[in-house]
């Protein structure tokens, strides 16, 4: 008997519990399962972040506002860690979902999924929400958070999408990522605070890190997937291997080939300008924005020079709507643009980077 029999199958108890919950849930509760699957989805993360940001700004007690802002930062870091860890685990383990194991006896609410069952992304996200809000809540609020996480986990089993072991693993992963974010942020805070007193090369190091992360991800994708291949991770997110001759998010992808040299030249000119800007004494949020944009631009330039086209691998979709595939370099550029916009809208951003 393998480790999976004991740690995942629980000697058959995992399937038995699934069948008891899945078949024992009255059909009248189907809309409730659908609702908690919806509010337990990664798609609600932007609303969660926006809500915490608004809470921090509207708090009448400054100390309360700072506490909420810290929870927002912690949630954002934990969310990023959990999304990466869940994706790696799903691809590495590739455990089958209930319909692939039990067939037509499973009552499914929504689309039928057959792969990448462990961990439950919804349960992971619910644990992240609980971890972010727990210190801010009183007794009744904490009871509500526990009930929310439990109902999200139940909804995934009732919907025929996950086994109980997947839900338990998701809760555990969310808790681990929340704890890890709480450990990492205090370590990174002094580095961020001291960035204004260090050399401009700190920001060039940030740009280099963005290039390395994006190129490592692209290397893994090109070595793992054939061109055009896609692997479903969640009902709304696929990992794909797409070659894009255009700009970010497939802009001008259908042009006749001239765009490769145009974008190389344009990106090099912009990169030179960004490098010049980073040598100035800028507010650190603005400097961070320029540095990650520089890293994203250089990484995509490296693709155009070495491969002729840019490797895209992140594919988000919802029903018939599909966002053009993109990569971490595009994310870095978008994040940098957000930092610059936020810095421009914040009159109190005066701290210099050098």
Q: Which residues are annotated as catalytic? A: 312, 330
Give dist(CA 136, CA 71) in Å, integer. 8
Question: How many other CB atoms are there within 10 angstroms of residue 124's CB atom?
Answer: 30
HSE of 227, CA atoms in CB hemisphere, 13 A: 6
On whether the CB atoms of residues 165 and 8 are closer than 8 A, the answer is yes
Question: How many other CB atoms are there within 10 angstroms of residue 88's CB atom?
Answer: 11
Helix (H) or strand (E) holding 335: helix 328-345
Per-residue exposure over 231-251, b if at least 16 CB sit within 10 Å of its own CB, e if not: bbbbbbbbbbbbbbbbbbbbe
Burial zone of 173 (CB within 10 Å; 0-12 exposed, 13-18 middle, 19+ buried): buried
Beta-bridged to residue 258, according to DSSP, are none
Lookup: tokens for 159 = 């919907």
Give dist(CA 54, CA 197) in Å, integer. 31
- Please report where in the chains the tokens 């005066």 appear, as a residue: 350
Give dist(CA 329, CA 38) in Å, integer. 29
Give dist(CA 290, CA 273) in Å, integer. 10
Give dist(CA 296, CA 119) in Å, integer. 30
- Please report where in the chains the tokens 């799903």 appear, as a residue: 90
């Amino acid at each position: 008997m393998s480790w999976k029999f004991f740690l995942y199958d629980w000697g058959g108890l995992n399937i038995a519990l699934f069948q008891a919950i899945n078949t024992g849930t009255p059909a009248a509760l189907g809309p409730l399962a659908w609702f908690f699957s919806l509010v337990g989805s990664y798609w609600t993360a932007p609303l969660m972040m926006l809500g915490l940001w608004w809470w921090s700004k509207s708090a009448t007690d400054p100390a309360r506002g700072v506490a909420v802002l810290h929870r927002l930062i912690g949630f954002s870091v934990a969310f990023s860690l959990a999304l990466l860890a869940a994706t790696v685990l799903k691809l590495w383990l590739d455990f089958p979902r209930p319909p692939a194991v039990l067939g037509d006896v499973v009552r499914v609410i929504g689309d039928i999924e057959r792969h990448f069952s462990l961990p439950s992304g919804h349960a992971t996200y619910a644990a992240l929400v609980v971890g972010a809000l727990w210190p801010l809540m009183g007794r009744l609020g904490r009871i509500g958070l526990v009930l929310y996480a439990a109902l999200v986990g139940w909804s995934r089993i009732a919907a025929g999408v996950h086994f109980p072991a997947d839900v338990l693993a998701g809760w555990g992963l969310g808790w681990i990522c929340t704890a890890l974010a709480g450990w990492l942020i205090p370590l990174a805070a002094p580095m961020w605070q001291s960035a204004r007193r260090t050399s401009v090369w700190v920001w060039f190091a940030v740009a280099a890190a963005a290039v390395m992360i994006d190129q490592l991800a692209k290397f893994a994708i090109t070595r793992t997937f054939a061109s055009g291949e896609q692997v479903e991770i969640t009902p709304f997110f696929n990992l794909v291997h797409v070659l894009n001759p255009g700009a970010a998010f497939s802009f001008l992808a259908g042009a006749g080939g001239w765009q490769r040299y145009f974008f190389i030249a344009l990106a090099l000119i912009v990169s030179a300008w960004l490098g010049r800007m980073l040598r100035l004494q800028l507010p650190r949020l603005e400097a961070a924005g320029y540095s990650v944009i520089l890293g994203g631009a250089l990484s995509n330039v490296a693709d155009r020079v070495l491969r002729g086209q840019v490797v895209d691998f992140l594919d988000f979709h919802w029903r018939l709507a599909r966002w053009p595939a993109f990569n971490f370099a595009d994310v870095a550029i978008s994040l940098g643009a957000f930092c610059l916009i936020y810095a421009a809208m914040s009159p109190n951003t005066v701290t210099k980077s050098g």
